[in-house]
Amino acid sequence: MTASSRQSLSSFRAEREGDWLAFEALLDRVEKRSPKALTDEELLDLPILYRSTLSSLSVARATSLDASLVAYLEALALRGYLYVYGVRESLGKRIGRFFLVDWPAAVRNLWRETLINLALLAIGAIAGYRLVAAEPSWFNAIIPAELAAGRGPEASAAALRAVIYGDGGNNFLSGFATLLFTHNAQVSLLAFALGFAFCVPTVLLVLMNGCLLGAMLQVYVAKGLGVGMGGWLAIHGTTELFAIVLAGAAGMRIGTAVAFPGDRDRLTAAARAGRTAATAMVGVVIMLLAAGLLEGFGRQLIQLDAARYAIGGAMLALWLLYFYLIRLSSDVARRAS
């Protein structure tokens, strides 16, 4: 290091080192104890000293000052960033905030896309129902063979009843339930993941899933088993279909951001939309797990139609209450955090 460089470094340290040491001392106290160890004035000084450290680091890098000083300032700036901007909530508080604030807020934010996907699911169900009612051969075109397993329009009422109530058809019941859940989980994940392609795959997937539902119901309705089949699906279906609708809404939010970014570039618009969509999608996974539990236990053990409809209706009411009607808990959680 030349004499002029040493003089510049010495002058630089003399001018700014006081701020670095003060910032380091505050961070030491916070890390060893808690933010309560600082006075109100010291808490206000923290972001100021952090910006001062960043400024010093920028100058040190630009002027190629001592490498050890640059390393010191980088470490100090990182410590400051983790405190000033990092998440300091405990895991329990973070999980609580997700369930009380983040997840329901993300779902409410997607209300337009949710209504659109609900309409798409209903349109698909009506189309599938009418196609099979008009021409039964449509059933095989809509329902995969492994999912139908011979329980199509040609099946007898007795065979279809055995699926619903388990009269000697428990093995098929379990297999069919597993296939149906797997199919719906795949649709949910794909509807979200493919949303970036201008929403087209998302729309098609939701429509197709509605067609599958409508085609399946038509077969049972035609044999006088519509009420029983509705109850069989209701226990888990209100949760699982709601999850599909929300996954489609999340994918659609990203797709519309990519297609119509507004005054932002597409990458920025997609990233902003992705934060809301990703939060909702984490919740969708939780809903699918809940649906799996309802499907694996409740639907197998409960045989009464009224009880099946009651459970399905109660689950739907619970989700609607949680997402759209109870906001006081969210406001309280937001103030507490």
Spans of all domains in the chain = 3-84, 95-336
The pLDDT of residue 335 is 47
The pLDDT of residue 3 is 60
The pLDDT of residue 153 is 92
State yes or no: pLDDT of 13 exceeds 90.
no
The pLDDT of residue 141 is 92
Average pLDDT, the chain: 85
The pLDDT of residue 1 is 53
169 CB-near residues (< 8 Å, 6+ apart): 159, 162, 163
pLDDT, one tens digit per residue, over 44-92 is 888 888 888 998 888 888 876 678 888 888 889 888 887 777 655 667 8
The pLDDT of residue 43 is 80
Cβ of 116: how many Cβ atoms within 10 Å? 19
Average pLDDT over residues 312-320: 96
Residue 193: band (very low, low, confident or very high) from pLDDT cuts 50, 70, 90: confident
Average pLDDT over residues 258-283: 88
State yes or no: pLDDT of 334 exceeds 70.
no
pLDDT, one tens digit per residue, over 124-177 is 999 999 999 999 999 999 998 877 777 789 999 998 998 888 744 455 455 555
